[in-house]
């Protein structure tokens, strides 16, 4: 089998890899129906996050179960399944509290940008669909594996409720699906921060009511203006930089909620500033597994169409072009078909 391996900044290779095998009785092997490139893959791709030697890539996946280990009970060969980017046993205390992405036996998936994948803790990680879905549903279902689940968590962690005024910082796929999620949760006003025409359009399609193109302090000033000097009830930080985080915190009202779901890179928060900002702060790797059943239902029932974030589809062998297109912001998100 061939798979995707990052050797260094912008040195991505699709090359021979060992065929995935059952290693633990709790494993499953799936043949990929679709996989994709994540915004977070761009951090090491751009050399902004160090790697230790050649690193297999990919953590978003859906496909058909080929084989399961002897202890697997809840999925079986032939089923179509979607799993989280973080494995979970779904039984430990952290899972019980709904934080499956902090499962005590968590592993972060990698190696998913390939035609076949081994998934540890299959029972607690994978969710099967009622039948094998049609091809047109694949992009939407694939987003549930990470990017939709992460946007959904961003909205949930920012306490979005019916009637909320919401700001979304970041116009990547997660930010855009944060807009979609806020809309589903009943937000009345959704202000998307974006200076990119195509992404603005998709944000509006997903439910954004306002677009703010300014950034940093000027962006915050616009939000404060748009909210009559008060700030937003909920702010979704979907980037992970110091600037975006401060923008998010300043854009929230006193007592408002700020979520952060982009892995922070070089972000430092001053305790006293946070104190006087009076916001609620919650973030982390999205507990996608908690939301998977609901999100799969919404996609299968046609209530949401999150697959719209994929604006480039390539054979998985051309994964390097998928990265390049996202790196150069020619594509929002690249879908890869084996």
Q: State the residues that interact with its own copies by CB under 8 A.
A: 93-94, 97-99, 101-102, 104, 228-230, 240, 242, 245, 253-255, 260, 263-272, 274-285
Nearer to its own copies, 20 or 170 (CB): 170
- Alpha-carbon gap, residue 125 to 290, rounded angstroms: 10
Nearer to its own copies, 53 or 266 (CB): 266
CB of 42 to its own copies, least distance (A): 16
CB of 313 to its own copies, least distance (A): 31
Nearer to its own copies, 229 or 302 (CB): 229
Phi, psi of 117 (to 5 degrees): -145, 140
Beta bridge partner(s), residue 168: 192, 236
CB of 333 to its own copies, least distance (A): 22
- Alpha-carbon gap, residue 13 to 300, rounded angstroms: 34
CB of 7 to its own copies, least distance (A): 24
- Alpha-carbon gap, residue 199 to 177, rounded angstroms: 11
Nearer to its own copies, 147 or 211 (CB): 147
CB of 110 to its own copies, least distance (A): 17
Chain centroid to Cα 263, Å, comes to 11
Tokens for 316? 């998985």
CB of 94 to its own copies, least distance (A): 4
Question: For 57-71, b where at least 16 C-beta lie within 10 A, e where not — what string?
Answer: bbbbbbbebebbbee
Nearer to its own copies, 161 or 280 (CB): 280
For the CA atoms of 220, 225, 227, 230, what is the dihedral angle to 10 degrees? 70
Q: Are 152 and 292 in contact (CB under 8 A)?
A: no
Nearer to its own copies, 245 or 312 (CB): 245
Q: Are 117 and 3 in contact (CB under 8 A)?
A: no
């Amino acid at each position: 089998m061939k798979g995707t391996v990052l050797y260094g900044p912008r040195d991505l290779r699709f090359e021979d890899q060992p065929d995935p095998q059952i290693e633990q009785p709790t494993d499953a092997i799936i043949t990929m129906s679709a996989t994709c490139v994540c915004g977070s893959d761009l951090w090491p791709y751009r050399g902004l996050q160090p790697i230790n030697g050649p690193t297999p890539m990919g953590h978003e996946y859906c496909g058909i179960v080929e084989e399961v280990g002897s202890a697997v009970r809840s999925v079986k060969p032939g089923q179509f399944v979607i799993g989280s980017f973080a494995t979970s046993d779904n039984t430990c205390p952290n899972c019980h509290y709904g934080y499956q992405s902090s499962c005590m036996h968590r592993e972060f998936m990698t190696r998913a940008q390939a035609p076949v994948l081994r998934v540890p803790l299959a029972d607690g990680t994978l969710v099967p669909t009622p039948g094998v879905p049609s091809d047109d549903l694949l992009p939407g279902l694939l987003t549930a594996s990470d990017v939709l689940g992460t946007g959904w968590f961003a909205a949930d962690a920012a306490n979005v409720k019916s009637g909320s005024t919401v700001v979304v910082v970041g116009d990547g796929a997660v930010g855009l699906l944060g807009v979609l999620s806020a809309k589903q949760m009943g937000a009345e006003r959704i202000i998307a921060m974006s200076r990119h025409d195509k992404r603005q359009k998709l944000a509006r399609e997903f439910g954004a009511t306002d677009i703010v193109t300014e950034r940093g302090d000027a962006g915050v000033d616009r939000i404060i203006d748009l909210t009559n000097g008060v700030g937003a009830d909920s702010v979704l930080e979907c980037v992970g930089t110091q600037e975006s985080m401060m923008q998010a915190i300043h854009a929230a009202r006193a007592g408002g909620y700020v979520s952060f779901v982009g892995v922070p890179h070089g972000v430092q928060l001053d305790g006293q500033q946070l104190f006087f900002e009076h916001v609620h702060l919650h973030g982390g790797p999205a507990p996608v597994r908690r939301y998977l059943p609901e999100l799969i239902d919404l996609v299968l029932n046609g209530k949401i169409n999150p697959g719209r974030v994929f604006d480039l589809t390539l054979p998985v062998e051309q994964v390097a072009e998928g990265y390049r297109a996202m790196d150069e912001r020619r594509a929002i998100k690249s879908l890869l078909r084996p």
